[in-house]
């Protein structure tokens, strides 16, 4: 793996030294691309700002100064990084900062409470031109710190303009996050140069970015702080009586737009196991006899409890890498409490939690009753699906079996499912550009399942409810390959065969068999849903509009297809893309499977790389509906050739 994935730095000189935006990414570190000052160094592919020597200052900067200010206006910028602060004892150090400074190294930067930024004589001076976000792990009363675990925004002074206890919001709750714990913590800092807004957020590395920032500062104009040329990077300092190691494990920055996404899959861990003190050794020696006496009691206790512990069968060891202990899931969900429950469906309950071993935010599906047959075969399939890796699939983290329950653990998707944003009267109506991007993402995910992985995986239950959205509204397919686990006792729109009414291809009702073609049919219905803003079945609608696909087919026949466009878009959409989606929806939902394109061709059509066929006739309820379109020669199945348009 490359130490530096890229630094991408582009400068373009024309006229008055105008420069293009700067973007760089470190998924791991060597000394390339960095300026290391004072105590900063590289250790285990991580940037080490300070070690545990006292009175130490460390600073690391991107090697080139950045042009962040033009005509008294500061450009937008965005950065994200993962840090770890590791104290040797409970008496931890002072913390670290992300800084923007006009100089590489300020003169006589102090340690202790000044975080390696400035010194007492220069603190608060306007000619510092210093901007910093401090991650402070020490309570200094003379700096007006709010506590010993806070994040603050510093403008020319170590006294923060705004300061908040470190943590993140999960709905209505606030979870405090101890920064000097050795855990890997991700931070996000964004400045909008147009609106003059600053936001700062943190979470455990691997969790999604919190929807609400920890610090939100409106109307903060950095024009008086910034010079035209500034350096970006980090600083940290030790105190005389408080020391800790400060690490940056990954870092990205963009001076125009969102910072590049970090790869968190190979982050090092610097959490130390605690050493054994002399007092503990003495205590163990003195108590050795007592432990021997009590040993038999302990053995007896565990033998008695053996039947109550989670049984591990021999066949489970074959799939052990994907198994997660039940106790960890119980801790993650606060004992599967109601406060962690955020969804119910045909598969059972869905809980939200944070795995204590990794800090990863996950969604945990709990399958109960006898929803699965042949546990060994099922777990083999689940473990195989766990190897699926695609940007448009919800990643399956693992599974857990406990008595008559089966738990499936997925990445948590903070924006929920697509149906929340397109049906009824949603609080937030998705714009057309987002909808179109989501459809292309779903198509790419299906193509991977059908043709690009080592095996063919049929989704079986594609619908807007199973299209999940991450924090950036990227589409992720969930529940792929699992529709056969549906509980037939649930009274929902799900049928006895795999699938959901309104999304199922007509041949499934005859054969009961799901194929790539039935997935394409379901995707056709999703295309129509997204374009029309209507559910596939709606008994409350006018009679001719109750079945979405039949209504759209009729409009297609009458050459009034654009009449189906979602009125919630209020005319704000790309007409060419909208017409493409509606036409492709009709083609993909063709009642005859041999007339449907495969997903590779579907994606090409969706991206405008291939023409969309003209449907000459459709078979519906055994009646042939002749479409009043320009006639093309058709094959025996009644499928028209691609349109010349």
- Strands of 178-306, DSSP E: 185-192, 197-204, 215-217, 229-237, 245-254
Residue 109: CB atoms within 10 Å: 19
Distance CA 342, CA 337 (A): 10
461 is catalytic: yes
Distance CA 66, CA 135 (A): 23
Distance CA 410, CA 340 (A): 15
Of 436, 516, 454, 505, give the one whose Cα is nearest residue 481: 516
Distance CA 288, CA 291 (A): 5
Write out the H or E segment, with its range, that includes residue 617: strand 617-620
Distance CA 324, CA 321 (A): 8
* Cβ-based neighbours of 603, under 8 Å, separated by 6 or more: 440, 443, 444, 447
Write out the H or E segment, with its range, that includes residue 467: strand 467-469
Of 185, 220, 235, 204, give the one whose Cα is nearest residue 81: 185
Distance CA 217, CA 226 (A): 17
Which residue in the list 111, 461, 479, 616 is annotated as catalytic?
461
How would you label 219-256 residue by residue, b for 16+ Cβ within 10 Å and e otherwise? ebebeebbeeebbbbbbbbbbeebbbbbbbbbbbbbbe
CA distances from 578 to 90, 269, 584, 596 (A): 60, 48, 10, 20
Partners of 134 in the β-ladder:
97, 152
Q: State the DSSP string of 547-568.
A: BHHHHHHHHHHTT-GGGGS-GG
568 burial via Cβ count (<10 Å: 0-12, 13-18, 19+): middle
Q: Is 418 helix (H, G, I), strand (E, B) or coil?
A: helix
Residue with tokens 């049919």: 521
* Cβ-based neighbours of 635, under 8 Å, separated by 6 or more: none
CA 473-479-512 angle, 5° bins: 130
Residues annotated catalytic, as ranges = 461
């Amino acid at each position: 793996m490359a130490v530096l994935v890229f630094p991408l730095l582009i400068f373009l000189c024309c006229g008055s030294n105008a420069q293009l935006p700067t973007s760089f990414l470190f998924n791991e570190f060597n000394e390339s691309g960095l300026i290391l000052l004072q105590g900063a160094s590289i250790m285990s592919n991580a940037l080490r700002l300070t070690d545990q020597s006292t009175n130490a200052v460390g600073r690391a900067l991107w090697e080139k100064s950045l042009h962040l200010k033009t005509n008294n206006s500061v450009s937008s910028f965005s950065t994200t990084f993962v840090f770890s602060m590791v104290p040797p004892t409970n008496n931890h150090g002072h913390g670290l900062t992300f800084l923007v400074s006009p100089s590489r190294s300020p003169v006589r930067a102090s340690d202790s409470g000044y975080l390696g930024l400035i010194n007492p004589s220069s603190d608060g001076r306007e000619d510092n031109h210093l901007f910093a976000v401090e991650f402070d792990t020490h309570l200094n009363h003379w700096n007006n710190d709010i506590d010993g675990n806070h994040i603050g925004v510093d403008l020319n002074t170590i006294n923060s303009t705004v300061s908040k206890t470190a943590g993140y919001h999960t709905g209505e709750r606030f979870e405090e996050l101890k920064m000097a714990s050795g855990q890997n913590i991700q931070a996000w800092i964004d400045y909008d140069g147009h609106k003059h807004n600053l936001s700062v957020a943190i979470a455990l590395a691997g969790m999604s970015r919190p929807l609400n920032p920890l610090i939100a500062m409106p109307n903060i104009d950095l024009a008086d702080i910034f010079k035209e040329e500034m350096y970006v990077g980090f600083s940290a300092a030790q105190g005389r009586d408080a020391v800790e190691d400060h690490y940056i494990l990954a870092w990205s920055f963009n001076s125009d737009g969102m910072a590049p996404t970090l790869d968190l899959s190979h982050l090092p861990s610097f959490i130390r196991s605690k050493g054994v003190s002399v007092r503990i050794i003495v205590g163990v020696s003195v108590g050795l006899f007592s432990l021997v006496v009590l040993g038999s009691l302990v053995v007896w206790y565990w033998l008695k409890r053996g039947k109550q512990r989670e049984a591990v069968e021999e066949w489970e060891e074959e799939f052990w890498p994907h198994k997660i202990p039940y106790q960890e899931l119980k801790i993650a969900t606060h004992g599967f409490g109601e406060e962690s429950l955020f969804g119910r469906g045909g598969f059972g309950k869905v809980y939200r939690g944070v795995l204590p071993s990794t800090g990863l935010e996950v969604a945990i599906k709990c399958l109960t009753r006898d929803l699965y047959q042949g546990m060994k075969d099922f777990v083999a399939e689940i473990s195989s699906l766990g190897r699926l890796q695609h940007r448009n699939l919800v990643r399956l983290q693992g599974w857990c079996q406990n008595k008559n329950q089966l738990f499936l653990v997925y990445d948590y998707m903070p924006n929920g499912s697509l149906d929340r944003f397109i049906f009824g009267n949603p609080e937030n109506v998705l714009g057309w550009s987002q909808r179109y991007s989501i459809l292309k993402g779903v198509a790419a995910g299906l193509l991977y399942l059908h043709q690009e992985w080592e095996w063919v995986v049929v989704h079986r239950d594609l619908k807007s409810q199973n299209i999940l959205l991450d924090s950036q509204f990227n589409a992720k397919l969930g529940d792929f390959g699992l529709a056969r686990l549906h509980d037939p006792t649930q009274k929902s729109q799900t049928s006895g065969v795999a699938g959901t009414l309104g999304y199922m291809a007509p041949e499934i009702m005859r054969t009961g068999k799901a194929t790539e073609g039935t997935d394409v049919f379901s995707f056709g219905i999703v295309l129509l849903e997204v374009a029309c803003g209507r559910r596939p079945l709606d008994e409350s609608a006018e009679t001719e509009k109750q079945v979405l696909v039949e209504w759209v087919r009729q409009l297609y026949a009458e050459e009034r297809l654009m009449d189906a466009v979602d009125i919630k878009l209020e005319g704000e959409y790309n007409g060419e893309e909208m017409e493409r989606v509606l036409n492709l929806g009709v083609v993909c939902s063709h009642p005859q499977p041999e007339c449907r394109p495969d997903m590779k061709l579907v994606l090409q059509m969706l991206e405008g790389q291939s023409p969309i066929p003209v449907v000459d006739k459709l078979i519906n309820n055994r009646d042939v509906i002749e479409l009043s379109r320009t006639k093309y020669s058709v094959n025996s199945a009644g499928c028209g050739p691609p349109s010349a348009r």
